[in-house]
Amino acid sequence: MNKLNQLFENKKNNILSIYYTAGYPSLNDTTKIAMQLQKSGVDMIEIGFPFSDPVADGPVIQKSSKQALDNGMNLKLLFDQLAEVKDLTIPRILMGYINPVLSFGVGEFVQKCAEVGVDGVIIPDLPLEEYAANFQPLFEKYGLHNILLVSPETPDERIKEIAKLSSSFIYLVSSNAITGSSLQTNAVSEYFNRVKSLVGDTPLITGFGIRDRKTFQEVCAYTNGAIIGTAFIDAITGKDNLDSAIDDFVKGII
């Protein structure tokens, strides 16, 4: 069974996902970070494959993406690295933009995801209609979840359509800002509750603006869990002991 399915069957609340950029801080840190995050107790990981024009990302993730590209990271190398940790017990999600996937080849990308144990992908700039028309059968063939996004500007009917197409969780974007922006929970509670009322039993995991235990607990009061990216990348940047920095960060959240 896909590990995302297992996770959401066994845990309903306070799910912690950590995002980091493949090939950052150093080219070969991808697998080291994955193993330590599992050891430290996170529920799932999101590995960003870097792109030269990450328009939805804030300066911290943009900088990590540029450094990763400068280090030599690409999708082929990332799949080679992930093959080394195929036996990770927590779900792995790849997150990135559609251009590198198209350059790699969509069919080959999905097949490689399945081969190395990737459970789902998040491609924010893949249009919903294009996914449903051209990609969904391929994803289903290889048992790969496509994680779709909802933002505060998403109309109700669109949210219902997204819920119908979602085979795992929905990525609930907390605001229309870029990643790394501050979260104002009191301003988005109505939005969270509105989305919950429209998606039925589909799990919701919140991203953008979650940075510490306080903000993690605040969003978990409304949704099934949260994703932390910018604050985590900040926490490992410039650290001599990655394992210790990772463990300290995760213990500060859960």
Question: Maximum Cα–Cα distance for the chain, whole Å?
Answer: 49
- H/E element holding 40? helix 29-40
- Structure token digits, residue 72: 């030599």
Does 57 qualify as catalytic in the annotation? yes
> 225-228 and 148-150: which strand pairing?
unpaired
Which entry of 29, 43, 46, 218 is annotated as an active-site residue? 46
3-state secondary structure of 117: coil
Does 153 qualify as catalytic in the annotation? no
Provide the 10 A C-beta neighbour count for residue 214.
Answer: 11
Compute the chain's Rg from CA coordinates: 17
Which entry of 29, 57, 119, 218 is annotated as an active-site residue? 57
Is-contact 167 141, C-beta < 8 A?
no
Main-chain phi, psi angles of 222, to 5 degrees: -115, -30
Q: Please, how many CA atoms are within 13 Å of residue 215, restricted to the half-sphere of its CB?
A: 20
* Catalytic machinery residues: 46, 57
